[in-house]
Amino acid sequence: MKRLNLLSLLFIASTIVGCHNTTTKNTTTDAGSSNEETQEAVETNNETLRLTTMKLTDKKWQEIKSGYDKLTKAQNEIMDGEYYEGSLYINLSGIATPDDVSLGGMIVYYKLKEQNYRFLPDNEYAERIKYVFGIDLNAPDALDKKKLKSHENYIVALNPNPDMDSKDNIQDKEFYPYRNHLYFFKKFNICVMQMPSALLLEIDKNTDKDHINVYKSAFDYHWNNYILNDNKASLAWLVSNGKEMEVKDLLFCFGYDKDAKLNKLILDSISNNANDGYSIESLEQVFAGRDLNGKLQIHENLLKFIQENPTNDYVKMLDIYGNYCLGEKTDCKFTRDESFKIAAYITYYLKLIDLENDKRSGSDEYLIINDMLFRIIGALEDKEGNQRDDEGEDSKFLKEIIKNDYYNLPNFKEMVYGLVNDYRNIGYSSETVD
């Protein structure tokens, strides 16, 4: 049957991706402390799970069965259609409804109950969602309607990464199971990736409301256990089971930079794949992005992580991207003023790293700080911002730093003053810096 073929495809694809990602550096180092917890979910990953705790009324069972039959029929018709090209993701827009998603959220909730997942209290759940995603569930009216859609029982984040789809058709594909779509069920205090529905169930003609099985993927358990309970063993499980990109999207799409292990995972992944040097594409959205309201969001916790755990690879990434922000071909995602601000933050943290370099002198830990720190010096730029060798006027970058009161970064003014005097090697009055 088409239903079984689709599930087989999904399982095979997940297995292939999982095998591909198991070679990632330093991704399972902390799983040992919770091996038993992780192993329990993995061992039964391909089995179905009996939802013994889901006590359904006849009416609710009919709702689930009706939704299942409707979506299965539509899915099979699409897969049998002339234009089906074997995609693993079936667009059910125009067929699925918010009620179908609400039922799917309920099913995931009971599945997690069977898996002994630890649910957060209401207030802690709301706080954690705001902490990780920047979404205030207690203020639904303030949500950006272009990226977050509020329904009676859930809120869906519609592909927050603008590069994943055009702005015009995101709303039309609310019921398309992109991996970037996230569903927040405040009633159940869970977060679900991809559209949940009755299709999660294993139903045949003999199934009744007291004997319902659900496909027992361990993903929902570990996703919620990491996102909401900050469980690092579950983070390791996600990365080693083909879900590394979903985890990285927490930084790329939502700016979540507060987990040192996730920051290290992302930076080391870039480093391990930089065979021919670091491309700008690999560094985009790492050090800065936009929040859900479209405002510039500098990932300062990641910059602090680099400062506290510096390596030459990390420093080189900062130097390359910082200089790119100051170049003529700056990232079109950011305005010129925003690019200057990103570069200023990078300069600031590079200088903090540089201040510690004397302690590393003569050791293997000595860091090579390239020309990023010199870019504030007028001698490197003419009036048009082009580099030159002779002494010139104050750079546009330096003027922007001063104009913005050194971006309120602690001691940055003193750092800039020292850089100008040390590297420009000319008199530089305090009045100019002021």
Segment 364-406, tens digit of pLDDT: 666 677 666 766 665 455 555 555 444 445 678 888 999 999 9
Task: Indicate the SS3 state at residue 150.
Answer: strand
Q: Are strands 148-150 and 155-157 parallel, antiparallel or unpaired?
A: antiparallel
Residues 6+ apart with CB under 8 A from 402: 416, 433, 434
Segment 305-327, tens digit of pLDDT: 999 999 989 999 999 999 888 88
Considering the entire predicted model, what is its pTM? 0.82
- 349 within 8 A of 318, measured Cβ to Cβ: yes
Segment 89-148, tens digit of pLDDT: 788 888 999 999 999 999 999 999 999 999 999 999 999 999 999 999 988 888 887 788
Percent of the chain surpassing pLDDT 90: 45
Overall average pLDDT of the 30-58 stretch: 61
Alpha-carbon gap, residue 39 to 202, rounded angstroms: 24
- Cα dihedral across residues 350, 353, 358, 363: positive or negative: negative
Report the candidate in 239, 153, 223, 203 with the shortest Cα–Cα distance to residue 51.
203
Position 291 confidence tier, pLDDT thresholds 50, 70, 90: confident
Percent of the chain surpassing pLDDT 70: 73
Q: What residue has token string 């029929």?
A: 73
- 18 within 8 A of 236, measured Cβ to Cβ: no
Q: What residue has token string 């080693």?
A: 240
**CA torsion angle 35 180 329 352 (round to 10):** -30
Q: What is the DSSP string of 236-250?
A: HHHHHTT-HHHHHHH
Domain spans in the chain, listed from the N-terminal domain onward = 2-234, 257-433
- 132 within 8 A of 250, measured Cβ to Cβ: yes
Per-residue confidence (pLDDT) for residue 220, from 0 to 100: 96
Report the candidate in 167, 165, 166, 134 with the shortest Cα–Cα distance to residue 155.
134
- Cα dihedral across residues 100, 106, 109, 114: positive or negative: negative
Position 251 confidence tier, pLDDT thresholds 50, 70, 90: very high
Contacts of 418-421 with CB under 8 Å at 24 or more apart are: 419/351, 419/373, 419/374, 419/376, 419/377, 420/376, 420/377
Per-residue confidence (pLDDT) for residue 112, from 0 to 100: 96
Alpha-carbon gap, residue 260 to 329, rounded angstroms: 31
In this structure, the number of other CB atoms found within 10 A of the CB of residue 422 comes to: 11
Segment 152-201, tens digit of pLDDT: 999 988 766 555 444 445 555 677 665 568 999 999 999 998 889 999 99
> What mean pLDDT, rounded, does the chain reach?
80
Task: Give the CA distances from residue 396 to residues 40, 73, 302, 327, 379, in Å, rounded to whole numbers and listed in that order.
Answer: 58, 62, 26, 11, 11
Alpha-carbon gap, residue 99 to 151, rounded angstroms: 9
Mark out the alpha helices in 147-278 (DSSP H runs).
Answer: 219-227, 232-240, 244-252, 260-272
Q: What angle do CA 414, 420, 421 make, to 5 degrees?
A: 90
Report the candidate in 214, 234, 233 with the shortest Cα–Cα distance to residue 224.
234
Given a cut of 60, whether residue 76 has pLDDT beyond it is yes
- 25: Cα separation from own chain's centroid: 19
Alpha-carbon gap, residue 270 to 348, rounded angstroms: 22
Given a cut of 80, whether residue 422 has pLDDT beyond it is no
Segment 336-349, tens digit of pLDDT: 999 999 999 999 99
Q: What is the DSSP string of 308-351?
A: HS--HHHHHHHHHHHHHHHSSS--TTS-HHHHHHHHHHHHHHHH
Angle between helix axes 232-240 and 260-272 (nearest 10 degrees) is 30
